[in-house]
Structure 1
Amino acid sequence: MHESLEVIVRTISAVFMLFFLTKILGKRQVSQLSFFEYITGITIGNLAAYVSLDTDKTWHLGLIALIVWGAFSLGIEYLQIKSKKARDFIDFKSTVLIRNGKILEDNLKKEKLTTDELLEELRKKDVFKVADVEFAIMESDGAVNVLLTRENQPLTPKHLGIKVAPERETQAVIMDGKILDEPLDTINLSRSWLQDQLEKQNLTVENVFLGQVDSYGELTVDLYADSVQVQQPQDKPQLYALLKKCEADLELFSLSTQNKEAKQLYGQCSEQMQRLLQRLKPFIQS
């Protein structure tokens, strides 16, 4: 029984030590690992298992080894931050696999990557034709990133010469049936505003599993009851209809007035409103 209790205590100690080391070594240890970080993770895991289960009197040496390996890893990461040569040596350089739609076979062999594996990586990026690829590179963590040729890249407002306002981050303002005040403050909204929006949809905070406010100030919710259909906000369609009515009124004023200056002014305003509606249509009617 004494031995079992000792194993329990040492296991808990090892867990806390692993958690502490992971916090120190940073988030990359729990996301995509580099080559050295992969080795570090395996080694630290083995040392923690030794500390937890080894029943002889030298288990404390495992704790010392954990601390030494953690300090060594920190030193390596600091060296990588300071020196590009060290980064290239420890984690390898990135390798170009495709350039101008042409597969570089020598680099493919260097990375021990088959043609099937390359095509699989391209399909993960929604690319099914090698000729559509301007540039493909294998990063040091093994991920393959792809740049399509210009004619195959998605069309953006910049390509059309349209300037768009910066979009704010969508904020979660309700989670697990509770209002989150900090995100509301971030977007300069209040609890009373949120309650009004919920009342418009005949909802209460307790019914909402997740509520988010987008960059346009529109609230969307996901309810605990998945079978209940949520009424979609109508603010944007109503705004579009109002602007359309204003444009029609301006055109009507232009046709009905006999004053040449007023007719010209109303006509110009109507044309400006038409252009504005054309640009706002994709956003307001989405």
Structure 2
Amino acid sequence: MNIVLDNLDILFRNLIAAGILFLVTFVIGKKLISQLNFFDFIVGITIGSIAAALSVDKTITYPHGIISLVIWGMIPLIVAGIALADIKARRRLDGVPTLLVQNGKILEDNLKKEKYHVNDLLEELRLKGVFNLTDLDLAVLETSGQISVQLKPEKQPVTVSDLNLSATRHGLWANLIIDGKILHQHLRLVNRDEAWLREELRKRDLEDVNRVLLASMDADGNLYIDVKDDQMEQFNVLK
């Protein structure tokens, strides 16, 4: 009987911890989760540690564990409120962006300040598609830890406005089939039906919907279809 009660206690502890974590995540919001600064990182680790301890440590009572999670879950909201109300507090709490490259010149002092090596910078630039420092005008280390780059004017991609051309807005693609499942609600939103969709598939010699991994349609009615298990030979020179 004691073993059963112990197991039920562990079950309830885990369910409570998971539920509170879900609520805390929902309340904190997408912005705070997607753009973690150092303080948010510490709060996240602490909340995870408390939840883990509550899940398995019987010496922690339910009220104490729940109160601790709620308190630490409220801290980011309080800090965010303070940062929104006062720009000086915002700079203290969130930090400010740091310029790492200016006019194509690496700012060594700023690199040292942010504990960045040149190799770290070069790697981040490559991830942004910048392989040649001579093409770079600015590189900024944002408070989220991401690096933003701006190419020199002569190296920037040509836009439609640069060519004095008219632009057409295509909007979002509507997913009509995902993993062999027809999304009827999406079909209705784009004023199509299943009969039309199946006819479009037959035009591409696809009688079985289950063969379709993804089917999407743009605002102009163009249909994109990706079939399952369509093997393509890979040429990977990076192995």
TM-score of Structure 1 vs Structure 2, range by shorter chain: 0.7 to 0.9
**Which residue identity is paired with 1:64?**
I
Answer with 54-63 or 135-144: which moved more. Answer: 54-63
Question: Which residue of structure 1 lines up, in the alignment, with residue 237 of structure 2?
Answer: none
TM-score computed with the length of structure 2 as normaliser: 0.86
**Which residue identity is paired with 2:144?**
D
CA offset at residue 82 of structure 1? 3.2
Residue 214 in structure 1 maps to residue 218 in structure 2: yes
Residue 152 in structure 1 maps to residue 155 in structure 2: yes
Query: Is the 1:178–1:206 contact (alpha carbons within 8 Å) kept by the matching residues of 2?
Result: yes
How many correspondences in the alignment? Answer: 228
Query: Is the 2:180–2:212 contact (alpha carbons within 8 Å) kept by the matching residues of 1?
Result: yes
**Aligned ranges 1:19-34 → 2 under 5 Å:** 19-28=22-31, 30-34=33-37
- Rounded to whole Å, the distance in 2 between the matches of 1:212 and 1:139 is 35
CA offset at residue 59 of structure 1? 4.6
Residue 128 in structure 1 maps to residue 131 in structure 2: yes
- Rounded to whole Å, the distance in 2 between the matches of 1:54 and 1:152 is 58
Question: Which residue of structure 2 lines up, in the alignment, with residue 42 of structure 1?
Answer: 45
Query: Is the 1:134–1:148 contact (alpha carbons within 8 Å) kept by the matching residues of 2?
Result: yes
Question: Which residue of structure 2 lines up, in the alignment, with residue 84 of structure 1?
Answer: 87
Residue 64 in structure 1 maps to residue 60 in structure 2: no
**Which residue identity is paired with 1:134?**
D
C-alpha change, 1:59 and 1:50, in structure 2 (3 Å) is farther
Q: Which has the higher contact order (CA 8 A, sep 6+)?
A: 2
- Rounded to whole Å, the distance in 2 between the matches of 1:81 and 1:141 is 17
Residue 116 in structure 1 maps to residue 119 in structure 2: yes
**Aligned ranges 1:175-214 → 2 under 5 Å:** 175-204=178-207, 205-214=209-218
CA offset at residue 225 of structure 1? 4.2
CA offset at residue 29 of structure 1? 5.2
Answer with 181-190 or 112-121: which moved more. Answer: 181-190
Structure (1 or 2) with the greater helix fraction: 1
Residue 3 in structure 1 maps to residue 14 in structure 2: no
- Rounded to whole Å, the distance in 1 between the matches of 2:116 and 2:231 is 47
Displaced runs of 4 or more, over 3 A: 28-32, 185-192
Residue 140 in structure 1 maps to residue 143 in structure 2: yes
CA offset at residue 151 of structure 1? 0.9
Instruction: Give the gaps of 5 or more residues in structure 1.
Output: 229-286
Q: Select the structure of larger CA radius of gyration.
A: 1
**Which residue identity is paired with 1:190?**
D
Answer with 211-220 or 15-24: which moved more. Answer: 211-220
Question: Which residue of structure 1 lines up, in the alignment, with residue 230 of structure 2?
Answer: 226
CA offset at residue 133 of structure 1? 1.0
2:101 counterpart SS class: strand
Question: Which residue of structure 1 lines up, in the alignment, with residue 102 of structure 2?
Answer: 99
Deviations 1:189-235 (A, max 9, x none): 3333323211211223333221111243111212234359xxxxxxx
**Which residue identity is paired with 1:170?**
W
Query: Is the 1:170–1:212 contact (alpha carbons within 8 Å) kept by the matching residues of 2?
Result: yes
**Which residue identity is paired with 1:141?**
S
**Which residue identity is paired with 2:58?**
T
CA offset at residue 148 of structure 1? 0.3
**Which residue identity is paired with 2:194?**
R
2:224 counterpart SS class: strand
Question: Which residue of structure 2 lines up, in the alignment, with residue 51 of structure 1?
Answer: 54
Q: Percent identity?
A: 39
TM-score computed with the length of structure 1 as normaliser: 0.73
